[in-house]
Each structure stands twice: as C-alpha cells, then as structure tokens.
Structure 1
C-alpha cells in the first residue's frame, strides 16, 4: 500500500482523485482477507489510517478525519474509514448466517443451546466486547461477528423506550444494564431460563422475590447476583409500571434499529453496515457551524443542496476541489493571502 501511494503522489491529483485511489486500489487489497480473518490489532488499523491521510494531505491534516469519511453531500470526501470498513465486513456475516440455515448455522445454534439460548437472543444483546462472550464456546471470528453487528446498531436508552419494549430486552450483555461499568452475564441464571427483563417481574409488575429463584442452577453466588440484578433495574422500576408483563410474548426478530432507521436484515450487505457505522462516527465540518450563523442557513436540506450543487455535481474536479476548500475555509483568501500586508480587509 505504501508503494501504491508513493507512485500516485507524483501525479497532481485532486482531493477527489486521491479519495478514488484509496477506495478502488488501496482498500480493495484488504477486503477479501479481512472478511474471512479475525480483526487486526489496533496498531495495524492506526498505521493504515496514517498512510491514507498522509496520502491525502502529505503534510498537516487540515480537516478532521471524522469529517472526511462522510458523504460529499454532507460535507465529507467519502474517504474510507478502515476501522468501520473492517467491522462492516464482519457484520455482513449475520444476514448470511440467518439466510443460509446451513451447517454453519446449526453449529452455532448447538453451541448456543448449551447455554439455553439461540442466535436470535445473541442478536438482541448489545455487547461490543468479545471477552463478554467467552461463556459461549465460539471461535474468536464468530464472537467478532456478533460484536461488530452490535456496533452497527443504534441502542436506545431505556428512557426512550416503551415499557413493553423494555420487557422484551435481554438482561445479559445489555449496555443499558451495567454494574460497575460492565454489562452482566450470569451463566447459571441463563441456564435456568432467566433471559429477558420480563423474567424478573411477576404478573403484577413487581420485582420477583428471592424465593422465586430457589430452583436456580448453582447457588454459590446467587444472593449477590440477585442483589446486582435488583440494583441495575432500579432506574427502570422508578420510571415505569410493568403491570402488563403477563401479556408480553418474546419473539425472534429480523428487524433492528440502526442509525439510518429500522431495517430488516434480509439481503443486507457490508455496504449497509458501513453506512450505519459512518453515520455514528461522522462529524459535521467545523466551518459549517461558522457559516450557518453568518449566513443564517440552519436547514440541513439547504446545506445538502450547497454541497451537491457546488461540489458533487461539478464535473471539473479542480473546480469542485476549489469549492470544497472554500467552504471549509482552508484557502488563502483576503487577509490570509499575504502575511506582510496587514491592511487587507476581511
């Protein structure tokens, strides 16, 4: 990749030309191997990111990286974010597993059944750390698949959910139910069939007493575990009444909430997951915040029209690059043209 960038640095490419080289020639070298191997370490990803942005700017980076990865219509350059790209390739395995129903699906299902859960339960969890899935004897590659898929989702806080929706959420590996900063995962409770928040409440909506769990498997720490569950559900018990818990039926779902909306997983590719990861990571251009106050342009549709008309739809990319730099205030103009003529007005 370094040799590739060095060879293209000799040519006078625009920012859009460099972005095209990164997408078509550089990142394409990593796509296949990344989709079938485990995620590389963070140092490798940082090194690739450094190579990409050194190729774009050559010297000092002028615009935020999290801005450049956005679509041109939002003020970015559509530069590929390697971290999001690799995670999207992993997340794209989930629709394949659910649609194939082949040997691989059966193997994963059998591993889950040992804990009295299924793949659909794992998909409802929100863990993004592979170590939280150590109790499920899966290879690291498949743990990464579920964690990367969870990173693509949009997890709503309980304050923004309805009581019925909360009752259908899993207790375990749930980012909204944390104890000392970490989600909980009690294997003995899971094997005993206590999986969802509704399992913690009786028909009248009250938190079940300790005596209800007398038949739980392995009671070595069950008293402490009960207190932890009581503690982490305190906030939702204050907010809502769960008197309709008896009417909640847990069903397997194929549709999930993503940053771009509520979508069914059927037929979704890595490109879909990549767009959702970018939506979570993207930062608006800092110059846009200044210009919107100066020219009183507060409507997002107006900004989209500006970026499309002045940059995206321009065929001459040198002109488009000039407009892009002008909108991002990185062109030498007015008082910035000369360091020695201080009388130039703004």
Structure 2
C-alpha cells in the first residue's frame, strides 16, 4: 500500500529496495512496513530493559528469568524454537527482530553455554540456574589448561559448586565434537571476562542507549541495510559522465526550500524514469513518440531537456541571464544541467548556489511546458523564478532565508 501510494497506484518504475535508501544514496527514505514493525519490536525491548519490574512487564520478566533474563538471552546464540520456555507469538517476533540485526559471530571468548542453538539436550537448548548464578556462562570455562573438557571430579574441585552427575553429563555430552576440537587449539586458561550489558555492543548502543532519543531512523537503518541496493543507474551514468560526486548529486535538490514536484523532476531524470513518450512506449506501443515541442524527433529525456531546438534556445537565454547577473564568462554543459555544479572556488559558492537553483527550476519549467502544450520560454521562467523568491521571502526556514539573501544581493548589484 505504501509503495502504491508513492507511485499513485501506477507502474512502479524504481525498485522498493532503492527507494528505501537514504536521500543521499539515491532513495526517498521509504518506510518499509516490515522494517518499521521490527523497529517497534526493538523499542519494546528497550522499554522492557529500562523498566523490567513495571506492572506490564511482570509476566514476561518471570518467563525470561527462567533462561537468565532477557538481557542475557539477547546476547546468546539462540534459536527461538529451541528455547526451553513457552513464549507468546509477540515475544517470538521480538526475538526474531533482534536476531536479524544482532549477529552472533563465533568467538571462543564470547561463546555462551546457555540458550545456545548448537548445544542441545532433547532438541532444546540448555539453561541451569545454579550454574548461571555461579558465573559459569562460557563454553570455554568447561576446558582445562590443556584444552580438554574437565572430568567430573576436576570440575567440582575447580568451581566448587554442588552439581549432580546427571547435570554434568547433560552439559558435557551436549558440547558438539566440532566445538571441542576447535577449542582444543585455544590457549588456556584465558581471562573469561565478558560484559552482560547490551549497551556495550555496537547494536545495543544504537538500540538501547539512554542518551539517544528519537532514534527510530537509526534502528530502522539497521534492518534496511541488508535490503537496500545501489541504484542501477549509477554505473550507467558513470560510463557516460566522469567523476560524478553522487552523494552531492542526490542531495542537491534538498538544499533548497522547493516543493516535492520540483525535486521529483530531477529525481526521475537521474533515475531515467521521467515519462517521455519514448519511455512510455515501452508500456504502451501505440503512443506517438515525436517531441512535444519540435514534433520532428523522438522524445526521449535527453532530447526533450537538452537537444530540442526550442530547449536549446531556452538554455541559451538562461546562459545569458547567468552571465549578466552572476558570472560573465560562465558556460555549462549537459552534465551541469542534469547533475549540478560542484567544482567551484569558495569565493563563488554563493553564485553557484543560485545557479544550481536556476537549473532545478529551469528543468521544472520545461516539464511544465511539456504538459501544458507550450514551448519553454525564458520570459515565463524568469517570472516563475521571481515568483518563487517572492513566495519564500517571508519564510524563516534557513534554506529560504539563504536563497532570498543571495538572490537579492546578486540581482541588485
């Protein structure tokens, strides 16, 4: 439904995984419902860990205490179906959401014995409360200095905790032979120091840090980073135009206080999905493809916005305007109009700021004239430009104030 809304219930011309990218990576910060839902699950985790004894958390707190508490469980290499407690569907979804972003990469120094999907007894992971309370947490703690598993008497002598032979047999027999073989090559004893604070992990710091507020976008980015894809048009344009600073290209239109319709034109042109007649012919074969302005050549987006005789005359007038008010020896090419100007000296930064704005509004003017059945005219564009400046003149938005100040200073000089 959200994707259909973006495309107004018409054909989707750009993949959803591209729209999910941040603005500076060629996307629209599109809210995918699945990742948004997972973000809410992570926020439930944060609220629970901050208030485990609140009225709403009494029952889940009791349930998770049977496996060492939720904080410890989230650090474990668990499999939801093998956890030795019965969980509600909501809690299963919450644990699944966490496992999607918290990767349990194998490390002998952080390989937990409990709630481990690799260490099973009767197809369920293990948890013995008395072992846990005596700080027996890691598989490595079951090995002696020679890299071999403790026998029963040596284990009792080492840790001095009362355990039965049946518990000992369950735990030690559950250790996979591959893990035992791997740990035999480790150096023992190692300092079995470990933090049980989730905020000490990179993912936990993003999700649970008390200093960060309103960080839904950061949590959502953790889920979306596996789904997002680089726009296919980047390698396409890189073969045609050299040295494009893509992050600046994608961010350019967002430096100004512009309507989404103006930004949309540049966005569609760069993504090669602007609705020219040649583009629409792919979806409807009986469309007449001659240019809306000159009626003598096929209307693709490069012809319409750059090569058409009427468009060329329009850009010539725009060039004279820029040379008259901003830079006398200025010139531009296709690359500058479509992607923006970024290679300039610091003393000219204000002038190029307005020139880039002129290019954005000029492309919108060409688009508007195409759909009103008129030719692009500089006089109309100049009126639109002045009207735009007049519209944002009273705005307190920093982008608007900067634009009005620079535009007025150059045209009055």
Greater Cα offset, 327-336 or 77-86? 327-336
Identify the residue that residue 316 of structure 1 maps to in structure 2: 259
**Is this contact kept in 1: 2:113–2:119, CA < 8 A?**
no
1:328 Cα deviation after fit: 1.2
Offset at residue 92 of structure 1 (A): 0.3
Do the aligned partners of residues 286 and 106 (structure 1) sit closer, same or farther apart at CA in structure 2, a change above 3 Å counting?
same
CA pair 96-262 structure 1, distance change in 2 beyond 3 A: closer
**Structure 1 residue runs without a partner (length 5+):** 1-50
Using the size of structure 2 for normalisation, the TM-score is: 0.54
1:168 to 2:168 alignment? no
Q: CA deviation at 1:75?
A: 0.9
> 1:1-346 to 2 correspondence within 5 Å?
51-57=1-7, 58-103=9-54, 104-105=56-57, 107-115=59-67, 117-127=68-78, 130-133=80-83, 135-153=84-102, 155=103, 157-158=105-106, 166-172=108-114, 185-187=124-126, 192-193=131-132, 195-202=137-144, 204=145, 206-209=147-150, 211=152, 215=164, 217=166, 225-226=174-175, 229-232=176-179, 234=181, 237=183, 241-245=186-190, 247-253=191-197, 254-258=199-203, 265-266=209-210, 269=214, 270-297=216-243, 302-310=245-253, 313=256, 315-331=258-274
Distance 2:104 2:238 in 1: 30
Pairwise CA RMSD: 4.0
SS in 2 for 1:281: coil
What residue in structure 1 maps to residue 347 of structure 2?
A: none
* Higher gyration radius (CA): 2
Unmatched runs of 5 consecutive residues or more in structure 2: 157-162, 282-287, 291-296, 304-413
Secondary structure of residue in 2 paired with 1:92? helix
Cα pair distance change 1:196/1:295, threshold 3 Å: farther
Aligned-residue offset at 1:97: 1.5
Q: For 1:86, what is the secondary structure of its paired residue? A: helix
Label 1:126 to 1:218 Cα distance change in 2 as closer, same or farther (>3 A).
closer
CA change 1:208–1:54 in 2 (3 A) is same
Cα gap change, 1:125 to 1:206, in 2 (>3 Å): same
Kindly state the Cα deviation for residue 277 of structure 1 after the two structures are TM-superposed.
1.4
Determine if contact 2:35/2:220 at 8 Å carries over to the other structure. Answer: yes
Give the superposition deviation at 1:311.
Answer: 5.1
Larger relative contact order (C-alpha < 8 A, sep ≥ 6)?
1
2:17 and 2:229 in contact (8 A); partners too = yes
Q: Give distance in 1, aligned partners of 2:12 and 2:267.
A: 15
SS at match of 1:141: helix
For residues 343 and 313 of structure 1, what CA distance do their matches in structure 2 show? 29
Contact 1:205 1:241 in 2 (8 A): no
Superposed CA offset, 1:13-36 (max 9, x none): xxxxxxxxxxxxxxxxxxxxxxxx
Question: Structure 1 63/172 Cα, relative in aligned 2: closer, same or farther at 3 Å?
Answer: farther
